[in-house]
Every structure is written in C-alpha cells, then in structure tokens.
Chains A and B, each alone.
Chain A
Amino acid sequence: MIRRVQVSAALALLPLAVIPSFRRLSAQDSSRISEAQTVLSALVESYGVSGAEGPVRETVKRLLPAWARPETDSAGNLWVRLGQGDPLVVFVAHLDEIGFTVDSIRDDGSLVLRTRGGFFSSLFEGQAGLVHSARGDVAGIFLPRDSGFTRHNPPPVRVDVGASSRAAALALGVAAGSTVTMPKQYVRLAGTRATGRSFDDRVGDAAQILALRHLDRTKLKHAVIFIWSTREEIGLEGAGAAAAALGPTPRRVHAIDTFVSADSPLERRNFAVAPLGQGAVARATDNSAVTPPAYVDSLVAVAQARHIALQVGTTNGGNDGSTFTPYGVVDVALGWPLRYSHSPAEVVDLKDVASLADLVQAVAEIW
C-alpha cells in the first residue's frame, strides 16, 4: 500500500506539466467582462442539440435573476414576461446547437448518424465524441475514414463507443434518437477573446440573461417578453411556435443571434465585415429578414443615447425573428461578431457580449 501511494505521488506530479496557466489571461477583467464570462461559460459548457435543449434550458433558469418566473411552453421554449402595456416587444435567442442524432446502430456496434443543422462534418471526423443517452453521457470517437484520403470531405461520419455489437452499444444506454456532440470547453484567449463551441447562440442567451439582471423594471414603458427558443438550427421551429402563439400582438421582435463575421484570414471581405471587439451588430439584412431602414436608424439612436458600441451590417443565415414577420411584426435582429461559425473553435470578444447585453437592456427600457 505504501509503495502504491508513493508511486501515485510521483505520478500525480506529472500532469502538472500539462495544466496550462490560462487563468492569467483573465486576471485584468472588469466586473462587466467577468460577469459576462461567468454566464457565458456556463451556457457554453451545457449541451443541447436541436430538440434536446433541456440541459441548456435548465442552465438559463439557474442564471436568471431571482424575481424572474420562467415558463416553458409545449415547444420547449422558455418565456420570461415583464412590464405592462402596449406595444409588446419580444426578444428571442435560441438554446440549441448543431450536432447529430443516432439514426441506427450497425451490427458492429458503430452508430450511424443524422446531422442536425448545417456544418462541415470534417470538423468532427477523427475527434472525441459524446453520446447523450437517457442514462448519461457515453464517450466515444468519431471514426476516421478508411478511404478517400485525397479529399477534404469525409463520407458520412459514424461513432464508435467501444462496443463490438449492436447489443453491446444498447447496453451502454445508446439508442436511436440519442443526440451526439463532441466534448466542449470554454477557453479564454488573449485579451478579451474566448473560444468554444456553440457560442452560436449561447452568447444571445447570455445577453438576454445579463440584460434581465441589470434592467430597471420600473423603467419599462410597455410589456416585454424574453424567449429562449428551441430547434432554431433545424428550421426556426421553436420560434415559429412562439410567433404563432403571439400572432400580430407584438410590435417588434428582436432576434438576438450571431452576426457571422468575415473578420477572419480565410473569408472574403465583400460583406459581413464586423470586426471583433468593436461592439454589437445590427444584423440589418440576412437570408431570412430585412430590418426596415427607419428601424435601424432608431436602433442606432438608442445605442448612441446609452453610449453603446454598435456596428451595422449584413451577413448570412436566418434568424428566429423572421418567423414573426408574416404576422406583421417587425424583425430588428441584433447580434455580435463571431469568427469560425459552427466549428469547435468559434471565437468571440467578451467586450461584444457586454455591448450586446447593454443594447438589449437599452432597447427594452427606452425603445
């Protein structure tokens, strides 16, 4: 026993060599940046593939201010209502992230997958995997290809959980319909930058939470609803249900979602150029909606009144607010610049997160 303890003591010293001293990177944070990081990191490290957002929804509930009374609708959306009177203004950020579901289990125990959302499957090939089963998370690997080595894109990826048969995989709790991701971690980079997977749209979720924590409910001149929506990545489904429930009642909807930025060494810069670190972005035109120019001007005026950094631009993608527009509701989408969207290495600037939260608060209070 003594020998084992001594060997363990020796081995315990080894891992210290690989524990990076990343903490120093956040030593100089302001309280705003620090709070944004605390909220955002908890959300990023929760898992929620489209249709299985439960863990993220619970994290949102935990982070809300004590006065909030969240309600979950039949689509899985989380609602927080505050203020009274017209016009009703809605904010919506989505809970879900891209990933896979198990489509079937082969005789050899490997899992055949179905994608949920749009992304490059090459980013998952040959990486660690995580199957979210009813009995807990099961570790595995996304199998590397066994042919086609001269091509960038792999054949459909499968997962190996170390089971040698279908029965063995089932015994681990894996089943058709289980969601599949890869392990993820919020990591601070230099300055106020950070990396992780699913910043799209956990930054939007965080901004709504931060705004609710700081806004002055006595200043509200009208009713406001904050929604954390489900299944955005597979067709704006949760928001669609919320929009149908509210009909033409809201005056405006503010989708709080990613502004995919061309601020990257690999992107063409003919549009979507919103540099990181220069504030929130009015997502004035995307593939799903156009904000009327007069509303963009009003938004800019709100930001100026509160001295909030705001960029205005156009990017690709759809947003939850577009499901409200058929009911006559104006979609004024807000975002923040994101690099490397839908990858395991998305990058944000925490100054932009704080800016976005301030803007959401200002819009709720004074517009």
Chain B
Amino acid sequence: MSDSRIVGLSDGKIGLMVLLLSVNPSIRPSAQTVADLTLRLSAMTAVSGYEQAVTDSLVALLPGSAKDRAGNVVLTLGRGAPKRLAVCPLDEPGYVVGNITDDGYLTLRRVGRSPNAPPPPAPPPPPWALFDQQLEGHRVTLFGRKGPVPGVVAVRSTHLQRGRPAAAEQPFTVDDAYVDVGAATRDEARALGLDVLTPVALTKRPLHYGTGLLAAPFAGRRAACAALAAAALGKPKTGGTVVVAFTVQSLQASDAGLNSVMRLLGPFAEVTVAGVPAKFPDTAVETVALADVETLMRRLVSWIGGGQ
C-alpha cells in the first residue's frame, strides 16, 4: 500500500499539514487533543510486523519524525546531554492470512503474543486463552493490497445445533477460524487484493461509555502512544536530548523495534515506557479512562523537560 493511500491523502495535503504544524512550534497539548488522538489510534490496526498504517500516520502527524530501518517512528527533541528515551510500543497481536481454500474462505495464523504476558517462557495471563474466541461470529477487516476488505469469521448456526450433541467446551482457537469475505472461489478472494500474509484483525469500533471511558482492542497501548504523541506535538522544553520512539514488533520474536532503537540511537541515560492502566486487557473491550491518558501526557511533558 502506498503511503498516500493509507492515510487517505495526497502528498500535497500531507505537505500542507506538516507546514501548518511546523509554523506553530509550541502547540499546547490539551485534554481534547489527547482524547482525539486516543480515539483515532484506537481505531487503527497494527499487527506486529505489519504496523505501516499506524506508523505512516504518526510520521504524518509529528513534524520532524521519520521511520528508522526497523520501521519505528523516531523523533528527536532538544540536543546535548543527557540523552534519554521515551518509548511507546504500538503493535498488537493479530493475524495474517495463512491459506485460502478452494471455496474462497481464508484461514489464519496468529502473529504476536499477549501484551500483558511476562517474557517467554512464562505462560500468558488466563484471559489470553479466549483471545482467538473473540473472532468467532464477528466482523474482521483484512488489510489487502487494494485496501481494507470487510469479512466475518464463520460460526455455527444456532438453529442447526438443536437436537445434536452439545458442541465442544474448548474455547474457539485460530485453527477454527474461516474468514468469509463473500468470495466463492480462491480467485475471487485474490481479486479483492487478498493473499497469504494479508494482515487481519477484529474490526475496530472504539466505544465511549460511562464518564470518560473508552473501550477498544488494545486501548491501553494506543492510549499510551496517543499520550506520547500529544506530548511530543506540544514540543515541550527539553532537558538535554530526548528521543521519542514509537516502536514496532514488540510482541513478536525479540522485540526488534525497541532493541533497534537502543542499539542504533543509544546509549540512553534513562528510558521511560509510556503506559496507561487498562481494564479487561486482551479483550475487544479493553477500557481506559481518558483522564488517565491526560495525566500520562502531562507526566511525559514533565519528563521530557527533565522532571521525573
């Protein structure tokens, strides 16, 4: 996918946006800014290793930022010593197409691990056992070469199970998933721009509820990145050099994104990882309080300025 199509802009519009932000170097980050950013980033998908749509959008949003060779979005603020790092992992566990059947269904393989899991080989937290089950009978989006394609994951019809022995009690797993995009043959699916390795995720529709609560898959991670982006957008006064990094591939293999930043731009005197408390982790309704996101943003502004 080309950059311009991913963000839905022509190159000229991107240039105009960057110019608007560049001529006002001291935009004050507000609660509304960080709330808007949290909503927008929560609606986006960044399967580990396939984060391009989000990283392209962050580069377009943050003047002076660029992608490094690993795909991380990096922005350097200030100069001199000490050199410090503020980082936010932006990827999420998800799926890629593993195969396409003769009759046009797509099967999946999972990519990435629970963001809430301790480092391997420690087992993931118990709710992770139901991560794949959230696909069953729900909408997914496939990020194909011709653009996003809607699909659903097949589920047994309630009516046809009546009078038959009860279905297995084991949770639904990725191996049970057949994605139906409306294609009747493999060629029809491919004509939509879909093929092996096409990224797939639950269709995201972030939900505001209660007082200042936002629910979405991986809302905590996206909220943390929104807080860091909002803090950086404000171009706060910097104590020494601060590298702001939105890292990729944190949940697959060896945390390649963060390790690249550390080796290519380090050493750092201090590292802070942006994080927001979240309820119902690893579910489609992971919930953050927008007040917590604003608090994090202000803490990051202070940290960038040299505070703790």
Residue contact A189 to B181, C-beta cutoff 8 Å: yes
Tell whether B126 is near chain A: CB-to-CB under 8 Å.
Answer: yes
Cα-based distance from A345 to B139 in the complex (angstroms): 6
Whether A267 contacts B160 in the complex (CB less than 8 A), given A17-B44, A152-B167, comes out as: yes
Residue of B20, B61, B103, B184 near A191 (CB, 8 A) is B184
| Stretch from A19-27, A68-76, A80-88 at the B interface | A19-27
**A345 / chain B contacts, CB cutoff of 8 Å:** 137-139, 152-155, 180
Residue contact A13 to B211, C-beta cutoff 8 Å: no
Cα-based distance from A18 to B37 in the complex (angstroms): 13
CB nearest to A318 among chain B residues:
B159
Residue of B7, B138, B182 near A17 (CB, 8 A) is B7
| Stretch from B88-96, B143-151, B241-249 at the A interface | B143-151
Tell whether B28 is near chain A: CB-to-CB under 8 Å.
Answer: yes
CB nearest to A24 among chain B residues:
B147
Whether A162 contacts B211 in the complex (CB less than 8 A), given A190-B181, A347-B152, comes out as: yes
Q: Interface size class for chain A? A: 35 or more
Whether A151 contacts B169 in the complex (CB less than 8 A), given A3-B28, A15-B43, comes out as: yes
Whether A316 contacts B162 in the complex (CB less than 8 A), given A13-B7, A126-B283, comes out as: yes
| Stretch from B113-121, B170-178, B265-273, B298-306 at the A interface | B170-178
**A317 / chain B contacts, CB cutoff of 8 Å:** 159
Tell whether A215 is near chain B: CB-to-CB under 8 Å.
Answer: no
Residue of B21, B127, B162 near A144 (CB, 8 A) is B127
Q: Which of B176-193 contact A (CB under 8 A)?
A: 176, 178, 180-184, 188-189, 192
Residue of B9, B101, B103, B233 near A7 (CB, 8 A) is B233
Contact with A along B204-230 (1 / 0, CB 8 A): 110111110101000000000000000
Contact with A along B34-59 (1 / 0, CB 8 A): 00110011011100000001001100
Cα-based distance from A144 to B217 in the complex (angstroms): 13
Tell whether A122 is near chain B: CB-to-CB under 8 Å.
Answer: yes
Whether A120 contacts B285 in the complex (CB less than 8 A), given A152-B169, A152-B171, A190-B183, comes out as: no
Residue of A15, A140, A195 near B150 (CB, 8 A) is A195
Residue contact A20 to B147, C-beta cutoff 8 Å: yes
Residue contact B158 to A122, C-beta cutoff 8 Å: no
Closest chain-B Cβ to A360's Cβ sits at a distance in Å of 22
Cα-based distance from A193 to B151 in the complex (angstroms): 10
Residue contact B57 to A262, C-beta cutoff 8 Å: no
Residue contact A264 to B154, C-beta cutoff 8 Å: yes
Whether A163 contacts B210 in the complex (CB less than 8 A), given A4-B30, A128-B205, A149-B126, comes out as: yes
| Stretch from A48-56, A244-252, A335-343 at the B interface | A335-343
Tell whether B75 is near chain A: CB-to-CB under 8 Å.
Answer: no
Residue contact A340 to B154, C-beta cutoff 8 Å: yes
Closest chain-B Cβ to A225's Cβ sits at a distance in Å of 27
Q: Which of A101-160 contact B (CB under 8 A)?
A: 118-120, 122-123, 126-128, 138-145, 149-153, 160
CB nearest to A316 among chain B residues:
B159
**B136 / chain A contacts, CB cutoff of 8 Å:** 122-123
Tell whether A42 is near chain B: CB-to-CB under 8 Å.
Answer: no
Q: Which of A308-367 contact B (CB under 8 A)?
A: 315-317, 338-345, 347
Contact with B along A230-250 (1 / 0, CB 8 A): 000000000000000000000
Tell whether B69 is near chain A: CB-to-CB under 8 Å.
Answer: no
Cα-based distance from A151 to B170 in the complex (angstroms): 5
Whether A20 contacts B157 in the complex (CB less than 8 A), given A6-B21, A151-B169, comes out as: no
Tell whether B141 is near chain A: CB-to-CB under 8 Å.
Answer: yes
Residue contact B137 to A344, C-beta cutoff 8 Å: yes
Residue contact B283 to A144, C-beta cutoff 8 Å: yes
Whether A10 contacts B61 in the complex (CB less than 8 A), given A126-B283, A127-B284, A265-B105, comes out as: yes
Cα-based distance from A266 to B137 in the complex (angstroms): 12
**A268 / chain B contacts, CB cutoff of 8 Å:** 160
**B21 / chain A contacts, CB cutoff of 8 Å:** 6-7, 10
Whether A7 contacts B133 in the complex (CB less than 8 A), given A264-B157, A342-B158, comes out as: no
Closest chain-B Cβ to A344's Cβ sits at a distance in Å of 6
Contact with A along B250-275 (1 / 0, CB 8 A): 00000000000000000000000000
Residue contact B17 to A340, C-beta cutoff 8 Å: no
**B284 / chain A contacts, CB cutoff of 8 Å:** 126-128
Cα-based distance from A278 to B136 in the complex (angstroms): 26
Tell whether B277 is near chain A: CB-to-CB under 8 Å.
Answer: no
CB nearest to A345 among chain B residues:
B152
**B158 / chain A contacts, CB cutoff of 8 Å:** 118-120, 341-343
Tell whether A63 is near chain B: CB-to-CB under 8 Å.
Answer: no
Residue contact B20 to A144, C-beta cutoff 8 Å: no
Cα-based distance from A163 to B211 in the complex (angstroms): 8
Cα-based distance from A352 to B280 in the complex (angstroms): 41
Tell whether A14 is near chain B: CB-to-CB under 8 Å.
Answer: yes
Whether A189 contacts B182 in the complex (CB less than 8 A), given A122-B136, A126-B284, A267-B160, comes out as: yes
Tell whether A272 is near chain B: CB-to-CB under 8 Å.
Answer: yes
Q: List 26 A-B contacts (CB under 8 A).
A: A2-B24, A11-B36, A17-B6, A17-B57, A20-B149, A20-B150, A25-B182, A118-B158, A127-B138, A128-B285, A141-B280, A144-B130, A144-B285, A150-B171, A160-B209, A162-B211, A162-B213, A188-B150, A190-B181, A193-B182, A265-B101, A267-B157, A340-B156, A342-B159, A343-B155, A345-B154
* Further contacts, 6 of them, CB under 8 A, given A4-B32, A7-B21: A9-B17, A123-B137, A266-B154, A266-B155, A268-B160, A341-B158
